[in-house]
């Protein structure tokens, strides 16, 4: 039976993200479109953690901006993307690492 991955042909690397990913910068506000609730995200806190305090937060597998599992639709505002997820970022934010400089309205 042929091997799916012949010995010696697979190269695997693991990296660890920054411990401060998603923090720093300016405080910003986020509005939860489904409830109308407005939250403040302090500079020293991640959007994901603020969401977890008040609402069912999105799934977040890696919490370091690599996997994209925590993607949340953005209805208005401009996210500051700090992730490493490839592909288009229009209309989404990864709350584990991304922030904003203005008010966001997200579909949560």
> In the prediction, which pLDDT does 24 show?
84
Least Cα distance to 108 among 73, 67, 68, 64 occurs for 73
Q: Per-residue pLDDT averaged across 72-99, rounded? A: 95
Angle among Cα 26, 28, 31 to the nearest 5 degrees reads 170
pLDDT digits (tens, 9 = 90+) for 18-68: 555 788 889 999 999 999 999 999 999 999 999 999 978 788 999 999 999
Say what the pLDDT of residue 23 is.
Answer: 86
Centre a 10 Å sphere on the Cβ of residue 22 and count the other Cβ atoms it contains.
24
Whole-number percent of the chain with pLDDT over 70: 81
Q: The pTM is what?
A: 0.79
């Amino acid at each position: 039976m042929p091997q799916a991955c012949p010995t010696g042909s697979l190269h695997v690397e693991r990296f660890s993200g920054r411990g401060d990913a998603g923090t720093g910068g300016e405080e910003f506000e986020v509005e939860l479109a489904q409830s109308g609730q407005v939250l403040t995200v302090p500079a020293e806190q991640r959007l994901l953690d603020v969401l977890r305090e008040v609402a069912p937060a999105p799934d977040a597998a890696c919490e370091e901006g690599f996997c994209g599992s925590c993607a949340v639709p953005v209805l208005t505002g401009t996210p500051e993307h700090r992730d490493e997820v490839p592909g288009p970022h229009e209309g989404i934010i990864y709350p584990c690492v991304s922030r904003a400089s203005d008010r966001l309205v997200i579909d949560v």
